Structures are given as C-alpha cells and as structure tokens.
A and B are shown apart, each in its own frame.
Chain A
Amino acid sequence: RKEVEQDPGPFNVPEGATVAFNCTYSNSASQSFFWYRQDCRKEPKLLMSVYSSGNEDGRFTAQLNRASQYISLLIRDSKLSDSATYLCVVNTRGSARQLTFGSGTQLTVLP
C-alpha cells in the first residue's frame, strides 16, 4: 500500500461546480496533513493545513478522518484559476520531520 494515495483524475468540471478530492494515508501515527496545489511546471504551493476539527478557507474545505485514515478537499464554486494538480501531503513517518507527497489529482475547470 502506498504511503499516500490519491485518485490521479483528471477531474474536468464546469465553472461553478463543486468538486471533492480524497486521499488515504497508511501510517496511523501521522500527525500533520496538508493540501498543496501545483500549477504546470511550477513549484508546489501550500493551499491549506488540515486540522482534526476540519477547516475552511473561503471556497475550500478540508476534512480529516483519522479512523479511516483519509483526508478530503472540497472546492465550491470552482473558478478557471483553480485548474491545477492538488497534492495530498502527510508526515507518514510518525514524528519524523518529513512530508510524503501524494502523486496528485489533476483538476481542469472548464468555461
């Protein structure tokens, strides 16, 4: 089983749609969770951290389910500028100061 697993997509959605991505992780001792976005040929950029209670930042909502070891990202009212690859990121080695990146889910928002 991969340490961090994501559906690669691609997800093609119309502008204004709501889209959700899921991610599973293998190490139950993981403590830190993030979503990053990566535009084509650019570096990953932090989108949001994921907290146990769930958190929201504008149109973006992140949820963590520790029992099932999955993380989700919901994007509401999607914009053309949301088109990117979304990376699920987890520190999979317990307290180690390392992050493991999923292979990413590609999103294209269509006009």
Chain B
Amino acid sequence: ETGVTQTPRHLVMGMTNKKSLKCEQHLGHNAMYWYKQSAKKPLELMFVYNFKEQTENNSVPSRFSPECPNSSHLFLHLHTLQPEDSALYLCASSQVTPPGRGVYEQYFGPGTRLTVT
C-alpha cells in the first residue's frame, strides 16, 4: 500500500449505531488529520494529531471520538450520529515542521462517504 488509505470507503449507519473509520498512512509522516466535507462546503478541520498527541479539536461534538495509537494509524469512532453528520470524512497526513516555520503540504486518503439514516 502506498500513500494514505481509508476504510471503509462507504458507510451507512443508523443514529443509534457505533462504527469506526480507519486511516493509515505509509508516508513516514508524523502528523495526521481528520476533515469533514459536506456538500457545497469547504473542508472543515476536525482533529489534529502531532506525534500521536492531539493538538487540535475544532469544537467537534463528542459523538466523534478520535484515536491515534501510533503515528501511522488514526481512527474516528462514531456513535449516536445525526443525519446532518452525513458527509465525506477525509484523513490526511503531513510532516511536522519546526516551530515558527511554515507547514508542509498534506496528503489525503480517498475518504469515507458516510450516510446517517
């Protein structure tokens, strides 16, 4: 496998279900991200992990719970979602830069298209 992979690619779940999204990066990066992309809206950053530590949580509801066991794997645990949570969930990775420097580009996985019924 190369680049950033995500599973599953498509997911349909009811509001009472619990499911998890998985992301794996094969680029040797040390930062990983979860984004949400709803129809006709720009990408919204949800979570940032640098060296397995969560450094950003952009006011994401607690029904979304991230987990980063190591710098290559990232999970997004989902429970009691709402229909408005239906979207494309994208994982990305990048290399961390020293403080005060700019940021390197991010590479995206193919995304999980989530439908909440």
Contacts and interface: CB of A to CB of B under 8 A. Distances in A.
A97 B41 contact: no
B100 interface: yes
18 contacts: A31-B102, A34-B105, A41-B88, A43-B108, A44-B90, A45-B108, A46-B107, A91-B103, A95-B99, A95-B101, A96-B56, A96-B103, A97-B48, A97-B94, A99-B45, A99-B103, A101-B43, A104-B42
A98 B43 CA distance: 12
A44 B99 CA distance: 26
Given A95-B99, A98-B45, A49 B108 contact: no
A91 B90 contact: no
A43 B111 contact: yes
Interface in A58-111: 87, 91, 95-104
A53 to B, nearest CB: 15
**Shortest Cβ-Cβ A-B pairs, 7 listed:** A31-B102, A32-B102, A43-B108, A103-B42, A101-B43, A91-B103, A32-B103
Interface residues of B, number: 28
A76 to B, nearest CB: 23
A44 B43 contact: yes
Contact of B90 (A31, A43, A87, A102): A43
Contacts of A31: 101-103
B107 A97 contact: no
Contacts of A34: 105
A41 B87 CA distance: 11
A79 to B, nearest CB: 23
A85 to B, nearest CB: 10
Nearest to B97: A97
A42 interface: yes
